[in-house]
């Protein structure tokens, strides 16, 4: 495993024209940020040794190196979801490669179903914490010596970055919520009883990604900032039929707000 990560990292280092310390996973709701990256070098996942290939509609698979504003960054356009059939090692492989490349801070976004009764479709939720509901743990197995066997998770989402994001949002009049993201395997959306259960357990939003990458980033010593765009509601009395298309549509509508916060935060980080 470690050899593969290092081989992929060496392959990329030879091609990279910058040495970024910031990475972004352009999940749902943040795809357009890719268009703002300048001095780009792009490399499709299928050309990267050991990289899985993304299959979901709306997720193009490539790594982008370049500048966002003044900042050198590395961006993943398209992520790997557990429900696609990848192992947790595959889902989180790119984060470990980031560690080898010298990444210090990771920004992630996703689409999620809102369970907090005050949430509305189109809200942005800064992720303050998560609950791992995946059936397999990304650190299951032999410990990779990027971090301890039993990693601390008391501040999985960096508090300083959350404070900065709050200040940016307040300064620009962008409403943000805060909350706990529940990560589930999918690919089904939740039944009303499941939304109720996740709410009772302490979740404010639920989605099918992010938690594996955030766990591995924490293990590697990479600090994390994450935002969810609330694309549908798992709130009793407000639950209606939900489809991937509607999720995509709500995420696209919230995209400019999300991009504004991320762009500024990345430049401050």
Nearer Cβ to ligand HPA, position 52 or 113?
Answer: 113
Under the criterion CB under 6 A, does residue 189 sit at the interface with ligand HPA?
yes
Nearer Cβ to ligand HPA, position 177 or 231?
Answer: 231
Under the criterion CB under 6 A, does residue 206 sit at the interface with ligand HPA?
yes
Q: Taking the complex as a whole, how short is the minimal distance between the CB of residue 39 and ligand HPA, in angstroms?
A: 33
Rg (CA), the chain: 17
Nearer Cβ to ligand HPA, position 187 or 221?
Answer: 187
Q: How far apart are CA 26 and CA 84, in angstroms?
A: 18
Nearer Cβ to ligand HPA, position 146 or 195?
Answer: 195
Q: Which of 96, 231, 255, 265 binds ligand HPA (CB under 6 A)?
A: 231
Q: How far apart are CA 223 and CA 127, in angstroms?
A: 13
Q: Which of 78, 232, 235, 261 binds ligand HPA (CB under 6 A)?
A: 232
Nearer Cβ to ligand HPA, position 155 or 246?
Answer: 246
CB under 6 A: which stretch of 6-14, 71-79, 107-115, 136-144 binds ligand HPA? Answer: 107-115
Interface residue list for ligand HPA (CB under 6 A): 111-113, 189-190, 206-208, 231-232, 234, 242, 247
């Amino acid at each position: 495993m470690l050899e593969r990560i290092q081989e992929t990292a060496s392959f990329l280092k030879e091609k990279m024209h910058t040495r970024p310390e910031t990475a972004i996973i352009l999940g749902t709701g943040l795809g357009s940020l890719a268009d703002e990256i300048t001095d780009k070098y792009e490399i499709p996942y299928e050309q990267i040794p050991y990289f899985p290939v993304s299959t979901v509609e709306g997720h193009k698979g490539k790594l982008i190196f370049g500048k966002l504003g003044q900042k050198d960054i590395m961006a993943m356009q398209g992520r790997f979801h557990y429900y696609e059939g990848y192992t947790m090692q595959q889902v989180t492989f790119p984060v470990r490669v980031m560690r080898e490349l010298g990444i210090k801070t990771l920004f992630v976004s996703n689409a999620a179903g809102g369970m907090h009764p005050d949430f509305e479709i189109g809200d942005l939720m800064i992720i303050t914490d998560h609950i791992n509901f995946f059936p397999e743990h990304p650190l299951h197995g032999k410990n990779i010596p990027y971090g301890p066997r039993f990693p601390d998770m008391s501040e999985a989402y960096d508090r300083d970055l959350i404070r900065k994001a709050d200040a940016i949002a307040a300064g620009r009049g962008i409403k943000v919520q805060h909350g706990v993201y529940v990560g589930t395997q999918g690919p089904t959306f939740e039944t009303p009883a499941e939304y109720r259960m996740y709410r009772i357990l302490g979740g404010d939003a639920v989605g099918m990604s992010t938690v594996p990458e955030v766990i591995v980033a924490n293990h590697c010593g990479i600090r994390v900032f994450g935002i969810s765009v609330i694309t549908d509601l798992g709130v009793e009395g407000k639950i209606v039929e939900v489809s991937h298309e509607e999720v995509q549509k709500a995420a696209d509508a919230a995209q400019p707000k999300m991009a504004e916060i991320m762009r500024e935060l990345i430049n401050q980080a």
